[in-house]
Amino acid sequence: MSDINEIDLRLIDTTVLLVFLKTMRHRKATSVAAEMGLTQPAVSHALRRLRHIYDDPLFLRRAHGLEPTALAHELEPKIRRIVRLLSESLEGAEEFNPRSAKMDLRIGAFDYELSSLIPDLVAELQKEAPTINIHSYPLDNQAALDALVQGQIDLSIGYFDFPDEGETSFIFEKLYEETYVLAARRGHPLFDAELTLEAISKGRHVLISPRGPSRNLVDHALSLQGLRRNVQIVVPSLYSALSIVENSDLVVALPRRVAERNMKRFQITHRILPIEGGTFELHTARHIRNAGSPFHKWLQDVVLRLI
């Protein structure tokens, strides 16, 4: 048999493969033509193409019909597998079974999401998908979107500066709206009276910023009133800030859910910040190439159930 090249491959189509398999079964061109709704010359033409490609007669004419050659018998299970794979590809993606799935789930999430949503997600997956391993990466906003493009993560949870309207590379789904609060140790004198912007400016603040000192919506609201925040300590994570706050007279601005979740653990209390626009929206983001993936759809549903 001669080597198969690209020209030979272009001569093969599903009709040729089906003609071969049905000829192996019926051993008569007339029967193959009748079952497939083809003319007998069309069946003969398909068999000639196969003989040319494989440089073998494949079927020998006998009084009782067509007798497969040794090569035809060798090719039959291989061609049957090819046809089966093609058929499965037309049926669409298989249903995802979380209980039997063995894989790594890669999530891009930063400090807030890791402390508020990820613990619940881990607990849920331990029950529903015990053989899925979870890997979290400290990625947010544009860094997370870049990782989705590169296929480095499956899902990102957080706050995003949305791409231009013409950008269709991502699927964003809103989870909920979050509010910023000011947290302090229980009995902090700052909370003895009404919480005003002036009172906030006089407080001694811990700033949570993984990338060093930065300004956020609290600073913007204060600057509009000619005030500024007195930041004395900058830390990279929520839990380090809460540990500092519960043992000092410092205060910290952070998302409400984090404060509520950690009130007992860190012996803190909190108040809503008296500022306009003191909210932000939390979204999930996944790449458009995974829009039809049963796994990604299941994962999104699990996250939505947790909020």
Residues 18 and 72 occupy one common structural domain: yes
Average pLDDT, stretch 7-23? 81
pLDDT-wise least confident of 76-90, 189-203, 226-240, 250-264: 76-90
Residues 276 and 181 occupy one common structural domain: yes
pLDDT for residue 83 is more than 90: no
Residues 36 and 79 occupy one common structural domain: yes
Q: 70-90 and 14-26 are packed helices; what angle lies between their axes, rounded to 10 degrees?
A: 130
Please, which pLDDT band fits residue 2 given cuts at 50, 70 and 90? very low
Residues 301 and 228 occupy one common structural domain: no
Average pLDDT, stretch 171-195? 93
Residues 159 and 295 occupy one common structural domain: yes
pLDDT in tens, 229-245: 999 999 989 999 999 99
98 in a structural domain = no
How many domains is the chain partitioned into structurally?
3
Residues 148 and 241 occupy one common structural domain: no
Task: List phi, psi (to 5°) of 176.
Answer: -170, 170
Q: Is pLDDT larger for residue 31 or for residue 6?
A: 31
Number of H helices, E strands in the chain: 14, 11
pLDDT for residue 111 is more than 60: yes
Strand partners, 302: none
Per-residue model confidence (pLDDT) at position 271: 95
229 in a structural domain = yes
Residues 167 and 288 occupy one common structural domain: yes
Per-residue model confidence (pLDDT) at position 88: 66
Neighbouring residues of 32: CB distance < 8 A, sequence distance ≥ 6: 19, 22, 23, 26, 38, 43
* Last residue in a domain, options 58, 90, 122: 90
- Mean pLDDT for the chain? 88
Q: 118-128 and 294-305 are packed helices; what angle lies between their axes, rounded to 10 degrees?
A: 120
Residues 182 and 215 occupy one common structural domain: yes
Rounded (to 5) percent helix, strand, coil in the chain:
45, 25, 30
What predicted TM-score, i.e. pTM, was given to this entire model?
0.65
Task: List phi, psi (to 5°) of 53.
Answer: -65, -45
pLDDT for residue 95 is more than 80: no
Average pLDDT, stretch 167-186? 89
Q: Is pLDDT larger for residue 13 or for residue 207?
A: 207
Contacts from 161-166 at CB under 8 Å and sequence distance 24+? none
Residues 12 and 77 occupy one common structural domain: yes
Domain holding 237: CATH number? 3.40.190.10
Per-residue model confidence (pLDDT) at position 164: 61
Strand partners, 133: 104
266 in a structural domain = yes
* Last residue in a domain, options 44, 61, 90: 90
Domain holding 62: CATH number? 1.10.10.10
Question: Tokens for 119?
Answer: 């613990």
pLDDT for residue 255 is more than 50: yes
130 in a structural domain = yes
1 in a structural domain = no
Residues 172 and 225 occupy one common structural domain: no
Residues 292 and 154 occupy one common structural domain: yes
Per-residue model confidence (pLDDT) at position 5: 57
51 in a structural domain = yes
Instruction: Please name the amino acid found at residue 270.
Output: H
Residues 218 and 266 occupy one common structural domain: yes
Strand partners, 205: 231, 251
pLDDT-wise least confident of 2-16, 212-226, 264-278: 2-16
DSSP string, 63-112: TTEEEE-HHHHHHHHHHHHHHHHHHHHHT-SPPP-TTT--EEEEEEE-HH
Which residues constitute the domain of residue 300? 103-176+281-305
Average pLDDT, stretch 266-287? 89
95 in a structural domain = no
* Last residue in a domain, options 53, 69, 90: 90
96 in a structural domain = no
